[in-house]
Structure 1
Amino acid sequence: MPRFAANLTMMYTEHAFLDRFAAAAKDGFKAVEFLFPYDFPAADIKARLVDNGLTQALFNAPPGDWAAGERGIAALPGREDEFRQSVAKSLEYAAVLGNEKLHVMAGLIAPEQPRAQHRAVYLRNLEYAAKEAQKAGIGIVIEPINTRDIPGFFLNRQDDAQAICDEIGAPNLQVQFDIYHCQIVEGDIAMKLRRDMKRPNAGIGHIQIAGVPERHEPDIGELNYPYLFDLIDSLGYAGWIGCEYKPKAGTSNGLGWLKPYL
């Protein structure tokens, strides 16, 4: 049976952030994820997790200046010191919140910028992050993201992400398989899940879902999610599936798709 984590950045936005934990638990979720925890003390978030019997599944390392449009710094030359500080900060939060996965965003690259240089920086930074996270028993995941939603994002394809993980060879570095992004860029979701789930190295460390193309509930759009959930189960995936979608009309009212899995 698949296990779902509510994404509290996109879901339950009708509530203040710290009140979203109780709302998710009331609807039957056993875990949560979100983009960033850094606007709140880790102890305050931990209290909401404990009070509501929730597991923290995932959050992202600091992405640079998000408000100014940055979407990660791991592949940005000249930002290495800032990246190392971001890794330290995210591991401090993870030590309190208890999640075993941490997502590191690559960042944006313009068409005229030297891709090979960015890739070399990305690999060095990921190797550093994986080594630091391994000391704490934390896994690092990297996520291919479609360039329709985030134009210029450095990492876009599942096979490229797997190749990067293979090249680094860290045992705690894996790919975050966001089905929404993968469908937009590549399609052929089921075959890619089969290909990557059982890889001897790297593999899939976290899965996220949303309907395609509007990024609403998974029962809206072009994908047959019940089939994919059954497939994910059959492949032996035991991690959380993050619900990183924008509810079409109120979070709780749109959870009919979840009821068979509670």
Structure 2
Amino acid sequence: MPRFAANLTMMYREHEFLDRFGAAAADGFKAVEYLFPYDYPADQLSALLTQHGLQQALFNAPPGDWAKGERGIAALPGREDEFKRSVDTALHYAQALGNRKLHFMAGLVSADADRARHRDVYVRNLAYAASQAAQHGLMVVIEPINTRDMPGYFLNLQRDAQQVCRETGAANLKVQFDLYHCQIMEGDLAVKLKQMMKDDIGHLQVAGVPDRHEPDLGEVNYPYLFGLIDELGYDGWIGCEYVPKGATSAGLGWARQWLG
């Protein structure tokens, strides 16, 4: 049976962030994810998870200056020391929140950038992050993101993410397979899930395509894909990384049979 984690960055925006934990739990979610925890003390977030009986499924490592438009630093030459500090920060929060998976964003690059140089930095940084995470039994994930929502993002295709993971040689480095991004860039979701599930996928996320609303809105047949994901033996959380079309709770009809 698929297990869903509410993405508190995108869902429950009708509530203040710290109130979203309780709202998600009230709707039957047993896990949450979000972009970043760093605006709040780790012990405060940990207390909310405990209070509402929630697990922390995923969050992102520090991405550079998000407010100024940065979207990660893992593939940015000259930022290696900052990247190592971000690893330390992310690991601190992961241990405090009981989180087993960390997403490291690659960053934005210009169209005329030396992609080989960026890729070399990316592989080396991820190998470092994975080695540090492995000491705590944690997984590192990387996510191909579509070029429509995030122009210039360094990693866009599933095969490129697979190759980067394999090049690092780190067993705890996997692909964060977001079906929304993959449908926009590549499609062929069922075949890719079958090809990648066993060895490559570390986390799944969903949203309706093309508008990134609830999974039952748009062109993707999610009921079929949820059944396939079950058949393939995935037992991790599926992050609901979508922007509700209306009130979050009112739009959860697609998930009621699983949320209980």
TM-score, normalization by structure 1: 0.98
How far is 1:261 from its partner?
A: 1.2
2:235 paired residue number: 238
What CA distance in whole angstroms lies between the structure 2 residues aligned with 1:2 and 1:112? 42
Structure 1 runs not aligned, ≥5 long: none
How far is 1:223 from its partner?
A: 0.3
**Which residue identity does 2:74 align to in structure 1?**
A
What CA distance in whole angstroms lies between the structure 2 residues aligned with 1:250 and 1:35? 20
What CA distance in whole angstroms lies between the structure 1 residues aligned with 2:53 and 2:242? 22
What CA distance in whole angstroms lies between the structure 2 residues aligned with 1:254 and 1:6? 13
How far is 1:88 from its partner?
A: 0.2
What CA distance in whole angstroms lies between the structure 2 residues aligned with 1:136 and 1:72? 23
- Structure 1 residue 255 and structure 2 residue 252: aligned? yes
How far is 1:153 from its partner?
A: 0.3
What CA distance in whole angstroms lies between the structure 1 residues aligned with 2:150 and 2:234? 28
Structure 2 runs not aligned, ≥5 long: none
Secondary structure of the residue aligned to 2:121 is helix
2:181 paired residue number: 181
How far is 1:260 from its partner?
A: 1.4
What CA distance in whole angstroms lies between the structure 1 residues aligned with 2:196 and 2:136? 26
1:42 paired residue number: 42
What CA distance in whole angstroms lies between the structure 1 residues aligned with 2:20 and 2:175? 27
1:226 paired residue number: 223
What CA distance in whole angstroms lies between the structure 2 residues aligned with 1:150 and 1:260? 33
Per-residue Cα deviation, 1:30-61 (whole angstroms, up to 9, x for no partner): 00000000000000000110000000000000
What CA distance in whole angstroms lies between the structure 2 residues aligned with 1:142 and 1:219? 26
Q: How does 1:48-87 map to 2 (within 5 A)?
A: 48-87=48-87
TM-score, normalization by structure 2: 0.99
How far is 1:254 from its partner?
A: 0.2
Note the aligned Cα RMSD (angstroms). 0.5
Q: How does 1:10-159 map to 2 (within 5 A)?
A: 10-159=10-159
How far is 1:119 from its partner?
A: 0.1
What CA distance in whole angstroms lies between the structure 2 residues aligned with 1:8 and 1:47? 16
**Which residue identity does 2:170 align to in structure 1?**
A
What CA distance in whole angstroms lies between the structure 2 residues aligned with 1:191 and 1:116? 29
Secondary structure of the residue aligned to 1:122 is helix
Secondary structure of the residue aligned to 2:220 is coil
What CA distance in whole angstroms lies between the structure 1 residues aligned with 2:220 and 2:10? 20
2:191 paired residue number: 191
Secondary structure of the residue aligned to 2:174 is strand
Secondary structure of the residue aligned to 1:163 is helix
What CA distance in whole angstroms lies between the structure 2 residues aligned with 1:53 and 1:67? 32
How many positions carry a matched residue from both structures?
259
**Which residue identity does 2:179 align to in structure 1?**
I
**Which residue identity does 1:42 align to in structure 2?**
A
Give identity over the alignment, percent.
Answer: 69
